Amino acid sequence: MAAHDLTLTDKAALTSGLGQMTTKPIEHAGIPSVTMSDGPHGLRLQHPDHEPGQLDLRPATPATCFPPAVALGSSWDLDLAHRVGAALAAEAAAHGIGVLLGPGINIKRSPLCGRNFEYFAEDPTHSAEFGGAVIRGLQENGTGATLKHYAANNQETDRMRVSADIDERPLREIYLRAFERIVRRDKPWAVMCAYNGVNGVTLSENTRLLTDILRTEWGFEGLVMSDWGAVRNRVAALRAGLDLEMPPTGGRTDREVVAAVTAGELDEAVLDRAVERLVHFAHRAARPAGDGSTAPYDEHHRLAGEVADHSIVLLRNEGPLLPLDPGSGTVAVIGELARTPRFQGGGSSQVTPTRVDIPLDHIRELADGAHVEFAPGYPLADGPEPDADPTEVADRAVRLAAASDTVVLFLGLAQQDESEGFDRDHIDLPADQLALLHRVLAVNPRVAVVLSNGGIVRTAPWHDRVPALVEGFLLGQAGGGALARVLFGAVNPSGKLAETIPLRLEDSPSFLTFPGAEGHVRYGEGVFVGYRGYDAARVEVAFPFGHGLSYTTFAYRELSVAGADDGAGIVVRVTVANTGERAGREVVQIYSAAPAGSPVERPIRELRGFASVRLQPGESREVTIEFPRADLAYFSVRDRCWRIEGGTYRIEAAASSRDVRLSAELAVAADADTAELDVRSTLGEWLAHPIGGPLLLERLARSNAGLTSRLADDATLRRAAHNVPLEVVADFAGGLIGRDELAALADRVAEATG
């Protein structure tokens, strides 16, 4: 069915939705309807009797609630992410859903973003690998993915109007990078454009992002749909490259499209292009209806538990206090969150779980001979009605703590503290919980704190007083069992942080500019986001990016790096040994550091790849991590393209961004296609240029051998002349090379670089 076989009215109708989660069918043309669903970590299924087109806020039909991205990303295990994608596809197929609205891969620019739980990391390589793995799991199993929210949707404050004002380098190197990699490599069926604008242009009308970059540069061939309600002007949006408006507007914008085409204001070919993409999408994604009964929910619950096992991050373990001995002693489990767990975030991603594992039940179950007592300690809005006033509830918990050998204290954020739709204004735990923590510590120092939170919470200054600290984030419906397994050592923790926990919110690189004002947020920290910023400013942090402990220990040996210039990518090999007493898994991280004297400011280190290796006690294994040579590039604002600078890079094998175990040097040649030179290029730029440098030195030596050798020997002269345009240097040196000759020299460089 080609677009020109449809009427104008049909075409306008087709490019907006039918209901909240469906596209319009056109029966006489054989175009089916597609049913979509949020996303990203489970299906948010509409109630079976919902009215198409009506907003339905009733709880959705049950589906498996997998760990949200904050937890999945902390697993650093791409195989698990792929399996979650495949399981989501199976549940989608069972319900007749053709497309999932996820994954979300926005960068966690600030710890305050209310939606950080839905995103993977503060790093684009990590986000690209996780987003890609989930997408492959979905699409290899027949369900389309919708990569969202494109782009730079890094806050909830004023999200429908704010313009993220971002310089070109951070835009390319941080905020678009994961989108670029996934679009090129994993080919998602759809991309969802964000609510916000970038550099003054709202995303749904942003031709540069929706067409020039996404389609022309990256080759995207799928469908671009709006975020729900993100379209301000449908006609302008179609022109910019948006294909599908969601949800529908009761026909209002369809009529606007018809009127614009009729009046000659919108070229019908633009509408036809969107229609053709929509038709392709509809044929690809339409599914027969299903009642969901064929999905293997038990198996998926087990998978959700396995992911949770791998996602829990052991931040601290002095003594070591953990694991607890399941066979003896008395354990006080304190905190309403142990009985009323928080396992996902609020908003469009909220899933009605098929069942929920309660941490307290699983702790009781695993405690063979250990005696477990519980006290809620503080109330939660969605927990049971307290049977006493808050002081008495806290007093009882403190008395229980005093009478027990060990305390497991559950602390965290409640649903009202963080959600889609608003940002947090601080990162502290609730005051009543902090007060309880201090009272418990005063009567019993043997405390393991277990945290439940979607965005990170401040652990300083109290974490030094707590021997064990377990970051559970939001672990999905099977997280309760996983927490119990980690506490008693049935599972050896192996998750690592995909975002930094700062000592104070004020230390975070975006602190001074988040969330902006008057419709603009300026990304003033540039490329120095997350660990890139903390490292550059040499700021001490509570727990660095990539950090996570185990009940065993690992040693790193024999790092080797090869292959920078043969076009095949960079191959890093390192041997990891389990030097402790328990089987465990180590996440090895590979960072690169650019050569000294870069032409642009570069982060101290940047993640390039990672691998997860499972080892028995005493076992060692070589792991291989490859990444494309192109990852070493920075985005040159001047030349409007990626540039690899030549020189010696440092490649690091690390257990966290601040625990580098081994490093090696890697010589990298500059791009053949290097920057252009002219007579206004500085002496420094000429000398650094692989072709221009030798040419100039040779020419200088012919006219003034003395100057050439002084430049070689006199560091002060070299430094002072570094920033001086070549034609000025030539004048200063008594016009030793004429202007015409300098221009000819620049032409020779241009010819040689093609």
Least Å distance between CB 190 and ligand BGC?
11
Least Å distance between CB 229 and ligand BGC?
7
Cβ–Cβ < 8 Å for 381, 375: no
- Of the candidate residues 6, 18, 26, 38, the single one contacting ligand BGC (CB under 6 A): 38
Cβ–Cβ < 8 Å for 191, 147: yes
Distance CA 248, CA 21 (A): 10
Least Å distance between CB 320 and ligand BGC?
40
Q: For residues 25, 29, 32 and 33, what is the CA-based torsion angle, rounded to 10 degrees?
A: -10
Tokens for 588? Answer: 């090895």
For residue 264, how many other CB atoms are within 10 A of its CB?
8
Least Å distance between CB 248 and ligand BGC?
13
Q: Is the peptide bond before 103 cis (omega within 30 degrees of 0)?
A: yes
Amino acid symbol at 159:
R
Strand partners, 209: none
Distance CA 747, CA 653 (A): 43
In our burial notation (b when 16+ CB lie closer than 10 A, e otherwise), range 446-471 reads bbbbbbbbbbbbbbeeebeebbbbbb
* Residue among 38, 227, 631, 678 flagged as catalytic: 227
Distance CA 559, CA 591 (A): 13
For residue 90, give the 3-state DSSP assignment: helix
Chain residues 450-469 in contact with ligand BGC, contact rule CB under 6 A: none
Distance CA 669, CA 673 (A): 11
- Alpha carbons within 13 A on the beta-carbon side of 710: 10
Q: Which is nearer to ligand BGC, 45 or 407 (CB)?
A: 45
Cα torsion angle, 436, 437, 440, 441, sign: negative
Least Å distance between CB 499 and ligand BGC?
20
Least Å distance between CB 64 and ligand BGC?
18
**Interaction pattern, residues 221-240, with ligand BGC; x per rule: CB under 6 A:** ------xx------------
Q: Which is nearer to ligand BGC, 156 or 685 (CB)?
A: 156
Strands 620-627 and 468-471: unpaired
Q: Which is nearer to ligand BGC, 350 or 500 (CB)?
A: 350
In our burial notation (b when 16+ CB lie closer than 10 A, e otherwise), range 55-66 reads eeeeebbbbbbb
Report how far apart the first and last C-alpha atoms of the chain are (Å, whole number): 45
For residue 686, give the 3-state DSSP assignment: helix
Q: Tell me which residue has tokens 């979607």.
A: 454
Q: Tell me which residue has tokens 């602390």.
A: 411
Q: Which is nearer to ligand BGC, 165 or 227 (CB)?
A: 227
Distance CA 170, CA 166 (A): 7
- Element at 93 (helix H, strand E): helix 78-94
Q: Which is nearer to ligand BGC, 249 or 348 (CB)?
A: 348
Cα torsion angle, 396, 397, 401, 406, sign: positive
- Of the candidate residues 17, 19, 32, 39, the single one contacting ligand BGC (CB under 6 A): 39
Chain residues 61-120 in contact with ligand BGC, contact rule CB under 6 A: 101
Distance CA 300, CA 310 (A): 15
Residues 6+ away with beta carbon under 8 Å from 49: none
Tokens for 557? Answer: 């040996």
Least Å distance between CB 227 and ligand BGC?
5
Q: Which is nearer to ligand BGC, 38 or 205 (CB)?
A: 38
Q: How would you classify residue 249: left for phi > 0, otherwise alpha for psi between -120 and 50, otherwise beta?
A: alpha
Q: Which is nearer to ligand BGC, 345 or 467 (CB)?
A: 345
Cβ–Cβ < 8 Å for 619, 582: no
Q: Is the peptide bond before 247 cis (omega within 30 degrees of 0)?
A: yes
Is 158 catalytic? The answer is no
Least Å distance between CB 394 and ligand BGC?
38
Q: Which is nearer to ligand BGC, 101 or 655 (CB)?
A: 101
Chain residues 335-364 in contact with ligand BGC, contact rule CB under 6 A: 348
Least Å distance between CB 143 and ligand BGC?
15
**Nearest Cα residue to 222 out of 135, 92, 349:** 135
Number of residues that bind ligand BGC (CB under 6 A): 7
Chain residues 115-174 in contact with ligand BGC, contact rule CB under 6 A: 148
Q: Which is nearer to ligand BGC, 20 or 494 (CB)?
A: 20
Q: Which is nearer to ligand BGC, 244 or 700 (CB)?
A: 244
Q: Which is nearer to ligand BGC, 119 or 410 (CB)?
A: 119
Cβ–Cβ < 8 Å for 617, 623: no
Residues 6+ away with beta carbon under 8 Å from 580: 550, 551, 552, 553, 554, 617
Least Å distance between CB 101 and ligand BGC?
4
Least Å distance between CB 195 and ligand BGC?
7
Q: Which is nearer to ligand BGC, 51 or 267 (CB)?
A: 51
Least Å distance between CB 36 and ligand BGC?
8
Q: Which is nearer to ligand BGC, 194 or 366 (CB)?
A: 194
Cβ–Cβ < 8 Å for 74, 297: no
Least Å distance between CB 240 and ligand BGC?
19
Distance CA 12, CA 15 (A): 6
CA geometry: angle at 203 spanning 198 and 205, to 5°? 120
Q: Give backbone dihedrals phi and psi of 22, rounded to 5 degrees, phi first.
A: -130, 155
Q: Which residue sits closest to ligand BGC, CB atoms considered?
A: 348
Residues 6+ away with beta carbon under 8 Å from 189: 99, 139, 144, 145, 146, 222, 223, 281, 284, 285
Distance CA 128, CA 181 (A): 6
How many residues are given for the chain?
754
Is residue 703 at the binding interface for ligand BGC, with CB under 6 A as the rule? no
Residues with a known catalytic role: 227
Residues at the site binding ligand BGC, with contacts judged by CB under 6 A: 38-39, 101, 148, 227-228, 348
